[in-house]
Amino acid sequence: MKIQRKLIRDIFYIAILFFMFTLFISKKYIIDPLTTFEMKMVHDRVNRLEIYIDRKCKLLFDIAQDYAKWDDTYNFVETKNDEYIKNNFSYEGIFDKNEVNFLFILDKKGDILYERYHHSNYYDELINKTIKIRILPTIKDYISTIRSDTVGIQAIDKTPIILVIQNIQNSKVSALSNGYFIIGKYINREEIKNINNELAINIASIDVVNSINNSLEINNNYIFSSKTFFDIFKKPSITFKVKFKRIFYTETIKNLKLFFLLSLILIISSILIFIKRLKASVLDKILLIKNTINKISETSNLNLRIPITKEDDEISELSIDINSMLNKLEKTSKRLKESLDDIYYLAYHDNLTQLPNRLKAIRYIEDLINVQRPFHVILLDIDNFKNINDMYGHDLGDAVLKYLSKKLQNNIRKNKFLARIGGDEFLIIVENLRSDFQIQNIVNDIINLLSKPLLIKSDKLYIEASIGIAEFPKDGSTLQSLLKNVEIAMYESKKKKLKYQYFNSALNERALTNLTLSNKLKQCIENNEFIIFYQPIYSLKENKVCGAEALVRLNLDNKIIPPSQFIPIARELGLLPDIDNLVLANSIKQCKIWIDSGMKDFSISINTSFRQIINENFIDFVKNTITKFNVPPQDVTLEITEEEALEDLELVTEILSRVKELNVNIAIDDFGTGYSSLNYITRLPVDILKIDKSLISNINDKKNIEIIKAILSMANSLKLSVIVEGVESEEQLNILRGLNVEKIQGYLIDKPLCKEEFETKYLKGC
């Protein structure tokens, strides 16, 4: 049925494209030209209206001109004789025939000499009653400013009025005007109706305006076109809006809709017929093939065959080919079944020890998890197995693995599962334990087994192993979490050289932290995310802080990480020299800032490592850093521990001697922890001895006091300065004062401080 859906979808898309194309063609070649034609018709109607109004205006203008430029009218203004009125303004005259609604004859001042009104309906009569009040101010304003003959459209209560103003003059061309002849005609409702009938237009509205509005508005049913006419001052006064009903457009749209509906019905009918024939001739046959193959897949019955129809088509040929293929598969499957057990065994067992492999162990654990059956997982890893392979060869290493696997198998009883999941890793799964001591007994048995030497070719070979233990579901509710946690426990056992280690949440947290640090440490170096704390060094003779030791911390995700946590990881990753160089540069820079801020006789002590100082660029780095920040070399002390110094005494002595040439001070940190201290100290170019806090913590011990005295005596004879670390109590301080110790460092003075705190506490005092 997927083919049917795809075909319907494709036909649907084609139909949409067809309709969109047809719609585009209809719009471009039918609707748009039709709209243009209708707009032209509207424009023609507006032009006819404009011509009609202009013709009316001209007719009234000419009538008024005939009277205004007549000597009798001129004489009437002078003499005001009644005969002129009787003879020229009787009813049924030219003014009434042209439906002039009012007539005024004004003198030069604008006063009325004669007025006459005509109305054809009640509405005209109402306007006539107020026309003198409403129109005369406009006329007087005009004749007082402009005075020329004019005609325009005025508006009173949305009624257009054709207003004509003519200067009254006699036949003498040079004669001056002695008054004004004014006529006006209302374009009332009857007139509008006549205009609509005569011009075959439809005036929708008449609006009083003060700006030109010749706009065109179009909707689906009508087109509105506006025409603005001007008053006697030649300003926009009134707008006629002509409405044109879009009969052609609406009929065309109706026919197009009908066309699209009929097309849609035709397309749907065609699709249904096509799909029906397609289903009968193709899809049903394909479905029959699919169902037969699915049934073969479900039942593994290769005797089933696809029914063959008599129709001669491609699908029938395909069915024949599939049946032929099934015949061959049936023969092949018989041969495959014969070797299936061998394949299964190879897939789930270790080829060397014949124990279940990692895949089998995973399946076994997943089955136990699915039924929620409690069990323990024991992961055993042979320590230093690589050394066995390197020393005795891989053949002997394989023999050890086979021998050990047999020993473990013999030790494994009911409800226990043993698998080799890696090179030298074995996994033991124990079920149905009633108490914790039972798992302990099993682990003890394994330890006892490993404590006995393995007899390999008459030789005794002692091996050790690290064991991790995890419990389901307490230590992991999923396969991944359980295997990860038992591996964490095993590595903890190996790291601490324990026989075994149970998993706990603290191990997981530490492992996650170490993993995070391993992944981010290099990035932290690049982003300079390390911060430096400074612990004051106090001079007992001068009673003031005379220096500070720079101690690095890691600021990771707004959390301060101590060096004990990240330094071992940095050492393993080979990143420790980069961190040490970063601390050295930043500490010297900070020392310069404090010296410039007023700290006098102040020095900075910076820890170094063996890996850092043996770098060929180390001495140049120290020299360039001191030069860059312009710090006196004697204010810089480089510290190295006894352990680091003794890693290669000859090489360290050579490098520190070259550093000493820069006038930098050299200090031995953690001094006094080894009995060899007095032997090597004379060989190193040392300026300062820092006595380890382990001697201070038990300073009441006479032995420790004697050691401190010996160190002080030796330092005095060698002209070395001494700093005692780890001073935390007044009692310790008093004893050290009695021994004439020069400088101290420890929590009694202050803890390591960030630079801001150090500045606040000690900058002003130095």
Q: What number of H helices and E strands is found in the chain?
A: 27, 25
CA-based nearest residue to 307, from 292, 294, 295, 297: 292
Least confident range from 93-107, 381-395, 464-478, 538-552: namely 381-395
Contacts with 231 (C-beta within 8 Å, 6 or more apart), sequence order: 152, 153, 154, 155, 163, 237
Q: Which helix (H) or strand (E) holds 104?
A: strand 102-107
Most confidently predicted of 78-87, 566-575, 692-701 = 78-87
The pLDDT of residue 329 is: 73
Q: What is the DSSP letter of 372?
A: T
Cα separations in angstroms, 5 against 1, 17, 289, 293: 6, 18, 18, 21
The pLDDT of residue 766 is: 47
Predicted confidence (pLDDT) per residue in 505-514, tens digit: 666 555 545 5
Residues of the chain above pLDDT 90, percent: 32
Most confidently predicted of 255-259, 347-351, 551-555, 591-595 = 591-595
Cα atoms found within 13 Å of the Cα of residue 762, Cβ hemisphere only: 27
Contacts with 591 (C-beta within 8 Å, 6 or more apart), sequence order: 602, 603, 604, 629, 631, 635, 636
Pairwise CA distance, residues 189 & 100, whole Å: 15
Is-above-0.85 flag for pTM?
Answer: no
Contact 663, 633 (CB under 8 A): yes
For range 404-424, the mean pLDDT: 81
Average pLDDT of every residue of the chain: 85
Cis geometry, peptide bond prior to residue 473 (ω within 30 degrees of 0): yes
Residue 106 has pLDDT above 90, yes or no: yes
Q: What is the DSSP string of 64-102?
A: HHHHHT-HHHHHHHHH--HHHHHHH--TTSHHHHTT--E
Q: In which band, very low, low, confident or very high, does the pLDDT at 598 lie, cut at 50, 70 and 90?
A: confident
Please give the domain boundaries of the chain with CATH numbers for all domains. Answer: 2-245 (3.30.450.20), 358-503 (3.30.70.270), 520-763 (3.20.20.450)
Predicted confidence (pLDDT) per residue in 265-318, tens digit: 988 888 888 888 777 777 777 777 778 788 887 777 767 777 877 666 777 767
Residues of the chain above pLDDT 70, percent: 92
Q: Which helix (H) or strand (E) holds 334?
A: helix 314-348
Question: Which amino acid is present at 616?
Answer: E
Structure tokens at 128: 């006539």
Predicted confidence (pLDDT) per residue in 176-228, tens digit: 889 999 999 999 888 899 899 988 899 989 999 999 988 889 998 999 999 99
Q: Which of residues 383 and 545 earns the better pLDDT score?
A: 545
Q: Which of residues 183 and 483 earns the better pLDDT score?
A: 183
Stated length of the chain: 766
Predicted confidence (pLDDT) per residue in 109-145, tens digit: 899 999 999 888 888 888 888 898 999 999 999 999 9
**Residue carrying structure tokens 């001209």:** 58
For range 82-106, the mean pLDDT: 85
Q: In which band, very low, low, confident or very high, does the pLDDT at 415 lie, cut at 50, 70 and 90?
A: low
Pairwise CA distance, residues 729 & 739, whole Å: 16
Residue 558 has pLDDT above 90, yes or no: no
- DSSP reduced 3-state for 159: strand
Q: Judge residue 181's burial from the number of C-beta atoms within 10 Å of its C-beta, 0-12 exposed, 13-18 middle, 19 or more buried.
A: buried
Q: What is the DSSP string of 552-602?
A: EEEEETTEEEPHHHHHHHHHHHT-HHHHHHHHHHHHHHHHHHHHHTT--S-
The pLDDT of residue 140 is: 92
Q: Judge residue 469's burial from the number of C-beta atoms within 10 Å of its C-beta, 0-12 exposed, 13-18 middle, 19 or more buried.
A: buried
Residue 164 has pLDDT above 80, yes or no: yes
Q: What is the DSSP string of 692-707?
A: -HHHHHTTTSHHHHHH
Pairwise CA distance, residues 122 & 114, whole Å: 23
Predicted confidence (pLDDT) per residue in 430-458, tens digit: 887 776 777 888 888 888 887 778 776 66
Most confidently predicted of 7-11, 57-61, 156-160 = 57-61
Q: In which band, very low, low, confident or very high, does the pLDDT at 674 lie, cut at 50, 70 and 90?
A: low
For range 675-700, the mean pLDDT: 80
Pairwise CA distance, residues 448 & 603, whole Å: 58
Pairwise CA distance, residues 259 & 22, whole Å: 10
For range 241-257, the mean pLDDT: 89
Pairwise CA distance, residues 411 & 443, whole Å: 11
**Residue carrying structure tokens 């700006």:** 211
The pLDDT of residue 509 is: 55
Q: Which of residues 665 and 309 earns the better pLDDT score?
A: 665
Least confident range from 132-136, 219-223, 424-428, 557-561: namely 557-561
CA-based nearest residue to 180, from 293, 268, 68, 338: 68
The pLDDT of residue 286 is: 77
For range 668-672, the mean pLDDT: 85
Residue 238 has pLDDT above 50, yes or no: yes
The pLDDT of residue 388 is: 78
For range 706-715, the mean pLDDT: 86
Q: Which of residues 580 and 390 earns the better pLDDT score?
A: 580
Cα separations in angstroms, 254 against 28, 33, 247, 265, 627: 17, 17, 10, 17, 92
CA-based nearest residue to 552, from 572, 526, 533, 573: 533
Cα separations in angstroms, 89 against 85, 96, 310, 492, 507: 5, 9, 110, 129, 123
Cα separations in angstroms, 180 against 106, 108, 355, 611: 5, 7, 130, 118
Structure tokens at 7: 């075909």
Contacts with 400 (C-beta within 8 Å, 6 or more apart), sequence order: 382, 385, 388, 454, 456, 461, 463
Contact 41, 244 (CB under 8 A): yes
The pLDDT of residue 311 is: 67
Q: What are phi and psi of 107, to 5 degrees?
A: -85, -175
The pLDDT of residue 228 is: 94
